[in-house]
């Protein structure tokens, strides 16, 4: 259980926009973190950080809105304050989520993220990192898929379509001798069990 969770508002009188958040560290400590992250340009997508960079930290006021004893209570209070102050609207606030611990993105933010990421491919460097992270890991979807397919009952029409598509697939092709040996060994093992 958290000792106390503070619900706070960061207000910009120049733009009349607000940001509502929650912290267990104390509102002043969290405000200092927001300022530091804005200076370091940690998250350029965050409207609050862009505003701090544009107007300067001295243009903002910190207001403590309330205290909560539990995370659930804090989430509810934060959501209520975001609704009351309309701080999740682009024209009236800096919140990009509806609030609560790991709150959901607003529809407007979802659209922006979708537009920015549509058609974007990871860089070669990123692909190499992803590739190296998967080395030595085994991803097996076979048993799950085959178990699901065991319950399926195919109609005669579907069976005929599958048969027509696969007809002649191996026409003119032959398995390698190594493959034939492996298949024989596998068959022999199955017959023993």
Q: What is the pLDDT along the chain (193 residues), one digit of tens a residue?
A: 446 889 999 999 999 999 999 998 889 999 999 999 898 887 777 889 999 999 999 999 999 999 999 888 888 899 889 888 888 877 789 888 777 666 566 677 778 778 877 878 888 898 888 888 888 776 665 566 666 666 678 889 988 888 888 777 777 778 889 999 999 999 888 888 6
Domain assignment of residue 29, yes or no: yes
For residues 115 and 108, the answer to whether their CB atoms sit within 8 Å is no
CATH of the domain at 15: 3.40.1440.10
Of 76, 78, 64, 79, give the one whose Cα is nearest residue 30: 64
Rounded to two decimals, the pTM is 0.54
Determine whether 104 is exposed, middle or buried from the number of CB atoms within 10 Å of its CB (0-12, 13-18, 19+).
exposed
Domain assignment of residue 127, yes or no: no
Domain assignment of residue 184, yes or no: no
The predicted structure's pLDDT at residue 148 = 62
Beta strands in 69-107, from DSSP E residues, in sequence order:
none
The predicted structure's pLDDT at residue 41 = 80
Torsion angles phi and psi, residue 30, rounded to 5: -65, -40
The predicted structure's pLDDT at residue 134 = 82
Domain assignment of residue 23, yes or no: yes
Give the span between the Cα atoms of 21 and 127, in whole angstroms: 35
Q: Is 18 helix (H, G, I), strand (E, B) or coil?
A: strand
Domain assignment of residue 43, yes or no: yes
Domain assignment of residue 152, yes or no: no
Work out how many domains the chain is built from and give that number. 1
Place of tokens 């930290």: 57
Domain encompassing residue 108 = 5-117
Domain assignment of residue 145, yes or no: no
Domain assignment of residue 81, yes or no: yes
């Amino acid at each position: 259980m958290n000792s106390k969770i503070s619900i706070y508002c960061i207000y910009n009188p120049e733009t009349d926009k607000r940001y509502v958040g929650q912290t267990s560290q104390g509102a002043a400590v969290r405000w200092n973190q927001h300022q530091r992250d804005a200076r370091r340009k940690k998250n350029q997508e965050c409207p609050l950080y862009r505003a701090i960079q544009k107007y300067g930290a001295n243009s903002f006021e910190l207001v403590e809105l309330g205290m909560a004893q539990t995370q659930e209570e804090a989430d509810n209070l934060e959501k209520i304050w975001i609704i009351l102050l309309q701080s999740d609207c682009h024209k009236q606030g800096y919140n990009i989520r509806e609030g609560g611990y790991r709150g959901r993105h607003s529809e407007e933010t979802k659209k922006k993220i979708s537009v920015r990421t549509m058609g974007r491919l990871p860089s070669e460097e990123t692909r190499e990192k992803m590739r190296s992270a998967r080395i030595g890991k085994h991803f097996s979807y076979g048993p799950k898929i085959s178990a699901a397919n065991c319950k399926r009952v195919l109609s005669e029409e579907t069976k005929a379509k599958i048969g027509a598509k696969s007809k002649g697939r191996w026409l003119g092709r032959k398995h390698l001798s190594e493959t034939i040996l492996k298949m024989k060994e596998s068959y022999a093992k199955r017959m023993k069990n």
